[in-house]
Structure 1
Amino acid sequence: MTSAFQNVTVERAAEAYVRSRGRARFLSMAQAIRAIRTLMPACKATDRELEGLLAAASIVHGVPVAFDARTTDGAEPQLQ
């Protein structure tokens, strides 16, 4: 039996996540990254790359974003 998730790319997962949050007040980057990593545990994209994909999809769909993910450089999260 073939899993439906085998053909899902990280780009499509990011797009689907953003679309699923379209009616929310904002998209939490930390939650979105966690959700994609849960769905795709073998994902090789960095958090920064996922952030970029999610931000781009959010712009296309007009979803406000909270850049609340912790960074490796110790910078505080920012809401935008």
Structure 2
Amino acid sequence: MTNTFHTVTVEKAAEAYVLSRGRARFLSIAQAIRAIRTLMPACNATDRELEALLAAASIVHGVPVAFDAKTADGAEPRLHS
């Protein structure tokens, strides 16, 4: 019996999360970042980098995005489709 292990990259995790939320009204960036950080506790990507990866994957797959993560500049959450 052969065991094959696949490496999960942050990019793959972001895309998998977006695909798992395809039928939802929108994807919450804040929830997605928490989920990725839970799945990958050693992730070195910043929240901004994760936000960019999630947004890009959402655009590719046509999933509306709520940019609801807290920002340092205090910007209001935004919803984009």
> Normalized against structure 2, the TM-score is what?
0.87
Structure 1 unmatched runs, 5+? none
Task: Give the letter aligned to residue 76 of structure 1.
Answer: E
Higher helix share: 1
The equivalent of 2:38 in structure 1 is: 38
* SS in structure 1 at match of 2:66: strand
Task: Give the letter aligned to residue 64 of structure 1.
Answer: P
> Displacement, 1:51?
0.5
> Displacement, 1:76?
2.0
Aligned length: 77
> Normalized against structure 1, the TM-score is what?
0.89
Structure 2 unmatched runs, 5+? none
- Larger CA Rg, structure 1 vs 2: 2
> Displacement, 1:49?
0.4
Distance (Å, rounded) in 1 between the aligned partners of 2:79 and 2:61: 18
Q: Give the 4+ runs in structure 1 shifted more than 4 A.
A: none
* SS in structure 1 at match of 2:71: coil
